[in-house]
Amino acid sequence: MSTGRILAVLLAAVTIALIVGGTVWPIQSASATAGTGARLLRPSSSPQAAVENLADEIGQQAWDNAYSSLANKSEFTELDFVRDLTGSYPSLRSHASLDSFDVRPQHASADDAQVRLNLRWSTVVGTFPDTRNLQVTKAGDRWEVVWPLVREPRVPPQVIPVNYLRWDVIYRGAEDDWGSQDVESPHVRIVDMHPVDRGGRVVVMGELLNEDVVPAFVTVKATLLAKDGTAIATEDSFDKISHVLLPKQVTPFLIEFKNVALSQVDSVHMQPSSTLIAASADPVVEIEDQHLNPGPQPSLSGKLRNQSGQVVNVAHVLGTFYDNSGQLIWVSDGYVERALLPDTPVSFAISIPPDIASQIKTERVVTSTYSSSRFQ
C-alpha cells in the first residue's frame, strides 16, 4: 500500500473517531449553541445534570421543555419565565443568544442542592453575564430546578406628558446656489486628552465637549506619529464614546492601539469631528447609587432611573475615572441588557482594571440611550 493511501485511511479513521467522540461525549456548554442539545440531554439524575439540561433548553429557546422541567412552575406562567430571560420590552436581552454557560455546585444534601448557573449571553455589543443561584430539589428519581423568577416590572397604562426640546434639521439642497450657506456643523472641543501605555498597547483617553447650542453626532479619531512624522497607526473611539452630544454635554472617549508601545510615539494627532443631527433632549436618565466595588474584579455599579415617559430599549453607560489630582486615568463602558422603564431603577456594572481601581479618587458617569425609533 502506498504512503498516500495509508495517510488517507488514517485521516478518515481519525475523523470518524472525532465525530463519534463529539457525539457521544459532547461539551455541554457548547451543545447549548450547537442546536443539537435536545437530542443530548442526560437524565436529570443529579443536581448538576438537571441544571445543565435546563441551560441547554434555554440555549435552544425550548421554552416549553425548560418550563415544564421546573419544580416551581405552578408559581408563575411560562410567559413570565420567558420574559424573565428575554425581557418584557425590547432590549439587548430580546435579541441575545446563549453563548455558553457553566454550572457550579455550591452545596448538596440527599434531596436538596444549591447550584450556581452562570449564563453568558451574546449580543451585537458583546456578551453579558447572567448569574442565577438555583435551588435544585429531588422529586422521585430525578432532580428539578426551582427557578428564582425575576419579575420585570410592568408599567401601568398611563399618559406621561413630555415636553423636552427636540431639534430638527433642514440641510442645504443640491439645487442651492454655490456659496449659499449650509447649516453649520456643531462646534466641539477636546477638553482633556491623555495617552497611556498599557502593556503592549497604547490607550488614548480624553473628554469631548459640545460647546455649541445644537446637538452633535461626534466621533474622535487619533493618529500616532513617530519621531520622523510618519503615522504609526490610526484608530477611532468606536463605541467607547457617547456619539450623540446635546449642547454643553461632555463625553469621555477611549481609543486603543494594539501592538504599539508609547515609547515609539512622538505625538498624537487628534481629529474630533461633528455633524449636526436631529435629536431630542428626552429621555433624561438619572444614575444613582454609584459605588466603586474594590476586590479582585473591581467595578463601578449603580442604577439607572429613567425620569422620562419613554421606554429606553438599550442604555450604554460610560464611566470616566480620575485620580487624586483630577487627572483622567481610565474610561470604561458597559451596556444594560434590560429596558429602562419610566421611573424604574435598573442595575448596571462596568468593570475597571485592578491596577487602575486603586488609584481612582472620583468618577463621572454618563449614559447614552437607544429607543426603538430614534437614537440619542
Partner 1 sequence: MRSRLSILFASLIWIASAQAVAQTNGLRLPKTIEAGTAFSIPSTGSGKAVLYIVGPGQVLRREVQLGEPAAFASGDLHNAGHYLIVLVGGSSTENGAFDVTAANQPAALSFIARPSRLPVDLHDGISGVAYVFDRFQNLVLQPTQVSFQLSGAAGVPQMRTVLTRHGVAWTKMDSASKEGAAQFEARVGNAEGKRVIQQVPGDPCRLRMNARASGQRMTLETEPVRDCAGNAVPDGTIVTFTETYTGGEATVDVPLKRGIARTEMPAYNGATLSVATGVVLGNEIHWGKGQ
Q: Which residues bind partner 1 (CB under 8 A)?
A: 163-165, 167, 177-179, 181-184, 191, 209, 211-215, 246-250, 281, 284-291, 302, 307, 363-366
Give the whole-angstrom CA distance, residue 50 versus residue 135: 11
Element (H, E) at 331: strand 328-336
CB of 154 vs partner 1, minimal distance in Å: 23
CB of 365 vs partner 1, minimal distance in Å: 6
Residues 13, 14, 19, 25, Cα dihedral to 10°: 120
C-beta closer to partner 1: residue 182 or 266: 182
C-beta closer to partner 1: residue 223 or 249: 249
C-beta closer to partner 1: residue 205 or 365: 365
DSSP conformation class of 161: -
C-beta closer to partner 1: residue 47 or 272: 272
CB of 90 vs partner 1, minimal distance in Å: 24
CB of 287 vs partner 1, minimal distance in Å: 5
Give the number of other Cβ atoms within 10 Å of residue 313's Cβ. 21
User: In Å, what is the CA distance from 33 to each residue of 57, 87, 257, 372?
Assistant: 10, 20, 32, 28
Place of cell 481601581: 357
Give the whole-angstrom CA distance, residue 72 versus residue 54: 13
C-beta closer to partner 1: residue 8 or 213: 213
DSSP conformation class of 93: G
CB of 343 vs partner 1, minimal distance in Å: 10
Assign 323 to helix, strand or coil: coil
